[in-house]
Amino acid sequence: MYHKMIKQICEKYGRKYTKELRIRMYGVTDREICLTVVKELKMPISADEFEMQLGDLAKKVLPAAPLQKGAERLLTHLHDYKIPMALATNSTEQAVRLHATARPRLFGLFNHKVCASDPDVDRGKPHPDIYLVAANRFPEKPKPIQCLVFEDSACGVEAATAAGMQVVMIPDPRLDREQTRHATLVIRSLMDFQPELFGLPPFDEKPERREMRDASPTK
């Protein structure tokens, strides 16, 4: 959905957001996307203007973003077993807020959230900063090797491995296989994930029973 928004802005100015450029932008920060696209496509607007337009579109589009299949099942399972979880993302705080407002129960399962714009994060992914900050904010302050990361981009996998963490990758099918080789484990869907492989409690129900629609808590 993000890349559709970027394509829409580019087309407004007669520029083509190519497949090659799109693949390079998977997982990087919003700011880096704006700087790179404006420079490489010689956009007649500044990176700041591009970022502002992207933010305006995001307000309308992101709340309707679909979940990855199996995401709610996995998060609910880990939460039920009191496994601490954090969201560590290259997205801006505004983008996370949009998602969280749309799915308050699901986003409430995270112990904390760390964005690229966090004051304690010097550099976004592919640097390890976001993951190291996220791990350090757990009360137990786990060592990196005790942390398991879920990623869908090569940029994110690079950040996780640089942080010394294990990483399960659910790659976009358009990614070249070479971009998946550094992950600890590569799976096609979160529905294929087996928690017990990493010392976590196994799923105790059939997958379809855990795939529930997210809803706000009722009084």
DSSP 59-112: HHHGGGPPPPTTHHHHHHHHHHTT---EEE-SS-HHHHHHHHHH-HHHHTTSSE
pLDDT per residue over 96-155, tens digit each? 888 898 899 999 999 999 998 899 999 999 999 999 999 999 999 999 999 999 999 888
Return the pLDDT at 212.
47
Last-in-domain residue among 39, 64, 89: 64
Among 15-29, 37-51, 78-92, 125-139, the range scoring the smallest mean pLDDT is 15-29
CATH number at residue 23: 1.10.150.240
Residues 185 and 97 in one domain: yes
Residues 86 and 142 in one domain: yes
Return the pLDDT at 86.
97
> What span, in angstroms and rounded, lies between the C-alpha atoms of 202 and 108?
22
Return the pLDDT at 41.
95
CATH number at residue 92: 3.40.50.1000
CB contact at 8 A, 72 and 189: no
pLDDT over 80 (residue 208): no
Residues 135 and 171 in one domain: yes
Last-in-domain residue among 25, 45, 64: 64
- Amino acid found at 116: A
> What span, in angstroms and rounded, lies between the C-alpha atoms of 70 and 210?
8
Return the pLDDT at 205.
62
Residue 215 lies in a domain: no
Residues 180 and 106 in one domain: yes
Residues 28 and 99 in one domain: no
What are the structure tokens assigned to 35, written together? 């700087």
Residues 11 and 108 in one domain: no
The residue-averaged pLDDT of 47-69 equals: 89
CB count within 10 Å of CB 145 equals: 10
Last-in-domain residue among 14, 48, 64: 64
- Nearest CA to 147 out of 161, 170, 166, 134 is that of 166
Residues 142 and 202 in one domain: yes
* Full-model pTM: 0.79
